[in-house]
A = this chain, B = another copy of it.
Amino acid sequence: MCELLGMSANVPTDILFSFTGLMQRGGGTGPHRDGWGIAFYEGRGLRLFQDPAASIDSEVAKLVQRYPIKSETVIGHIRQANVGQVSLANTHPFVRELWGRNWCFAHNGQLADFAPPPVFYRPVGDTDSETAFCDLLNRVRSAFPEPVPAEVLLPVLVAACAEYRSKGVFNCLLSNGDWLFTFCSTKLAQITRRAPFGPAQLKDTELTVDFQAETTPNDVVTVLATEPLTANETWQLHRPGEWTLWRRGERVAYGRV
């Protein structure tokens, strides 16, 4: 299995604190040694750092930790391989362009007997995760050749996720930079931080940050992770079948299938 990390915020926010916690699980406090990746939206551009090396040993991960990047939408992942060898091509998150936007996706879980026909988007590597991402985009493009708002798109996303979930475990994060869509098949935790901000203490390494000192009173920052990342805060646990659309840190639509 793998671990996911997502962020949606209403101001460009540094995810360094959460990233540091997650990276410990890549061979340190967790067994996810088979690569990691993190994607930061920067305007319409997307900055993607990835490494098939364990995050705890990764030079690229050290760069990301030394060089905090602020973003409103982030998708990260650490991998413990089940389907597909350990390689860069099999490292999440995966990216494709649709409607002139960068779509980014990461998955936790495993799908059995899943071999959709290769249509337009095709996997480069050989993971079930990238195959599902391509299938999802093929469904979206087939339903909507031209751009539609996220709210119009949601039924297609939710129906696809419900179908993938029926084939195994499918926790996922998906974004086009404007919004972040999350689906919980078995495990997904979330915290929305807003004023008054307080200190937060990582579970996986000795690090505390006082968000009060780093934020303004209007900031809203939602962080999603497979398991809660901090020890002194109350995380919301999503229920199986729960999907949510986040925009600028706020939950703007949700439901359960």
Contact = CB atoms under 8 A, between A and B. Distances in A.
Interface of A: 42-48, 50, 52, 59-60, 63, 66-67, 87-91, 95-97, 99-102, 118, 120-125
A43 B95 CA distance: 17
Given A60-B67, A96-B97, A97-B96, A87 B120 contact: no
B43 A88 contact: yes
Nearest to A98: B122
Given A63-B60, A67-B59, A67-B60, A45 B97 contact: no
A47 B50 contact: yes
B120 A45 contact: no
A89 B120 contact: no
Contacts of A101: 124
B124 A44 contact: yes
A89 B66 CA distance: 23
A97 B97 CA distance: 8
Given A45-B124, A97-B121, 9 more contacts: A42-B87, A42-B89, A44-B87, A45-B87, A45-B125, A63-B63, A99-B122, A100-B123, A100-B124
Contacts of A43: 87-89
